[in-house]
Chains A and B, each alone.
Chain A
């Protein structure tokens, strides 16, 4: 059966340390744009940790939510792309074909999660940082959109490794950079079509919700969160 990659993010475990953000930048050759351009809204974080405050000081509680591309089954970004640069793969990934993108930025507007990023300028790395680019990931040029790929290069490597070792792909063979870097193990990646995988089981947890579920984009990322109104099930 075809794979269907998905993710579970346990908000009760997330400490907001942003190790996932850093790991994502390093793994995927995401350029940093500097403080000025970041203030102008040109920062690119395929993975970001959103902070929300509840209550008033001094009884304020801060909540963290790592947000990345939700890899929607019914993705609004794909329908609006005039050139099929954004399209759904057989394994349920929302692929972005950089060579096919002409930069209408329509996908970014259509995405309710705002997880798509535009290369407003050609990316630059100060020497010697250019030597640490990941050779498995293409560097994007000015004028195209980019977004979280669920570390598709790691998915491919995992499948190839399993094939050379002449065995089936096991749950946990493949880990995106964010999941690997998370010190509290809040990010779990796996095949949703494999009902025994950790991600598939946790995706059905009563603690699970989808982000902006009512919009009907059918995201493949599930957020786990203690639900005080439903304590007995948690």
Chain B
């Protein structure tokens, strides 16, 4: 135990793991209640049928699908940002990466449940997976929904690995400090980590590989999610811009979610020494950049449709610009473009409350964007006789609210069992090689023993 005593950084960052406050139980109880309510609502929907939701003929997709695209979008916060920051070796990234990667994993898990929630027969969801069955029927590989299945599973596996790898040395740290059952559990998670040079080299190589591999996966995931829409001949869906537009939007909403999560973490876990102004400053700059990119994509999409003036598309177009859905559309423009551009050019705003306001706006605005892509188009398909509308029903709203609670709950539980800031990466700091500083003094003889 003595070897870990002279590590004030770890003392500080491991505090939430070893000391549990009342607020933790209160938060878990409150969030858990909301999550249970959501599960009950889902059970209610399964029992009675999809009719208790607002979806109808011709708007067959509504809130559930909006939430699916929204959460998959949020998941682009983490892994992608942290992979890019790792690759360019941005030094300020160190306290941010894990907060971000956790968002990815949990948002993906939540997002991936929505395609199951929205099914008429959710218990048969595994039929989209290829598995040997007596009927020897495989899924239809022409269907974008099957592409979704593979893309999301690949991304989830990759992000989990990317999150878990740099956690190993921190698990070992907890293992060395804990006693009893906790020591055994963290011992298993640490997978025999001793901090040898060979282990450090392997960890570094693995992370380098994952950081490079995860970027094309992340980009492809949201492109494929956009294909759910752009592959269908529905007005305003059938567009080549959807792939990059969705990826940019996903990163945009992901950064906003990350800023919000970091703000909460900084307050709740008193991490002001680690999550500093520079992190909010840099992330807010990134948010501003993405706001500009988002504005560019929306303009390009809208002006092409408007100038093309195809009758089928104009019905859906005008319903969002000045018809039924226009209040939502212009709210979205304010949230996603006007608000960030008004607040974020100023450093005082970026490091202060302005970033929180802008990030909240972007989360709302990006949710609206997903809704405005799905519902107005389905309301105004080619045959005017079939035009319709959509009103969300309580079950859809409750399920949606519960997923936000689920995100907060998972995050709270995670921060309870894993140091939310990577301790060894903080310790490494500016040093060129982790083995040089991270290995405790008395391990060095073992290190030399291990060498042939």
Q: Residues of A at under 8 Å CB distance from B?
A: 37, 40-44, 48, 50-52, 67, 76, 79-84, 100-106, 108-110, 112-114, 117-122, 142-145, 211-212, 215
Q: Is B298 interfacial (CB-CB < 8 Å)? A: no
Whether A80 touches B57, Cβ cut-off 8 Å, given contacts A110-B233, A120-B50, A143-B119, is no
Number of interchain pairs (Cβ within 8 Å): 137
| Cα–Cα distance between A43 and B386 once the two chains are bound (Å) | 12
| Minimum C-beta distance from A107 to chain B (A) | 9
Q: CB-defined interface of B139-173 with A at 8 Å, one 1/0 digit per residue?
A: 11011111001000000000000000000000000
Interface centre among B49, B50, B57, B234 (most CB of A within 10 A): B57
Interface centre among A40, A41, A109 (most CB of B within 10 A): A109
Besides A50-B383, A105-B60, A143-B119, 7 more A-B contacts (Cβ < 8 Å) are A42-B57, A76-B233, A79-B143, A80-B144, A103-B119, A112-B233, A117-B57
Q: Is B118 interfacial (CB-CB < 8 Å)? A: yes
Q: Is B51 a contact partner of A42 (Cβ separation < 8 A)?
A: yes
Residues of B contacting A104 in the complex (Cβ-Cβ under 8 angstroms):
115, 118-120, 145
In the complex, which residues 34-85 of chain B have their Cβ closer than 8 Å to any Cβ of chain A? 48-51, 55-61
| Cα–Cα distance between A120 and B395 once the two chains are bound (Å) | 14
Looking across the interface, which residue of chain B has its beta carbon closest to that of A114? B386
Residues of A contacting B125 in the complex (Cβ-Cβ under 8 angstroms):
102
Q: Is A109 a contact partner of B119 (Cβ separation < 8 A)?
A: no
Instruction: Pull 27 A–B residue pairs with CB atoms less than 8 Å apart, ordered by A.
Output: A40-B56, A42-B51, A44-B57, A51-B385, A52-B384, A79-B143, A79-B231, A80-B143, A81-B143, A82-B127, A82-B146, A102-B119, A104-B119, A105-B55, A106-B228, A109-B61, A110-B234, A113-B382, A114-B386, A118-B60, A118-B120, A119-B49, A142-B120, A143-B49, A143-B121, A144-B120, A211-B383
Residues of A contacting B137 in the complex (Cβ-Cβ under 8 angstroms):
83-84, 100
| Cα–Cα distance between A183 and B287 once the two chains are bound (Å) | 65
| Cα–Cα distance between A79 and B120 once the two chains are bound (Å) | 19
Looking across the interface, which residue of chain B has its beta carbon closest to that of A65? B385
Residues of A contacting B115 in the complex (Cβ-Cβ under 8 angstroms):
104
Q: Is B378 interfacial (CB-CB < 8 Å)? A: yes
Residues of A contacting B90 in the complex (Cβ-Cβ under 8 angstroms):
none
User: Interface on chain A toward B: helix, strand, loop, or mixed SS?
Assistant: loop
Residues of B in contact, count (CB < 8 Å):
43
Whether A142 touches B382, Cβ cut-off 8 Å, given contacts A42-B56, A110-B232, is no
Q: Is A83 a contact partner of B139 (Cβ separation < 8 A)?
A: yes
Residues of B contacting A113 in the complex (Cβ-Cβ under 8 angstroms):
382-383
Of the candidates A67, A79, A102, A108, which one forms a contact with B57 in the assembled complex, judged by CB atoms under 8 Å apart? A108
Looking across the interface, which residue of chain A has its beta carbon closest to that of B56? A41
Q: Is B382 a contact partner of A108 (Cβ separation < 8 A)?
A: no
Looking across the interface, which residue of chain A has its beta carbon closest to that of B116? A102
Whether A83 touches B383, Cβ cut-off 8 Å, given contacts A102-B121, A103-B120, A106-B143, is no
| Minimum C-beta distance from A147 to chain B (A) | 12
| Cα–Cα distance between A112 and B378 once the two chains are bound (Å) | 10
Q: Is B333 interfacial (CB-CB < 8 Å)? A: no
Q: Is A109 a contact partner of B124 (Cβ separation < 8 A)?
A: no
Closest 3 CB pairs of A and B: A103-B120, A143-B120, A41-B56
Looking across the interface, which residue of chain B has its beta carbon closest to that of A33? B51
Q: CB-defined interface of B360-383 with A at 8 Å, one 1/0 digit per residue?
A: 000000000000000000100111
| Minimum C-beta distance from A144 to chain B (A) | 6
Residues of B contacting A119 in the complex (Cβ-Cβ under 8 angstroms):
49, 120
Q: Is A80 a contact partner of B231 (Cβ separation < 8 A)?
A: yes
In the complex, which residues 408-428 of chain B have their Cβ closer than 8 Å to any Cβ of chain A? none
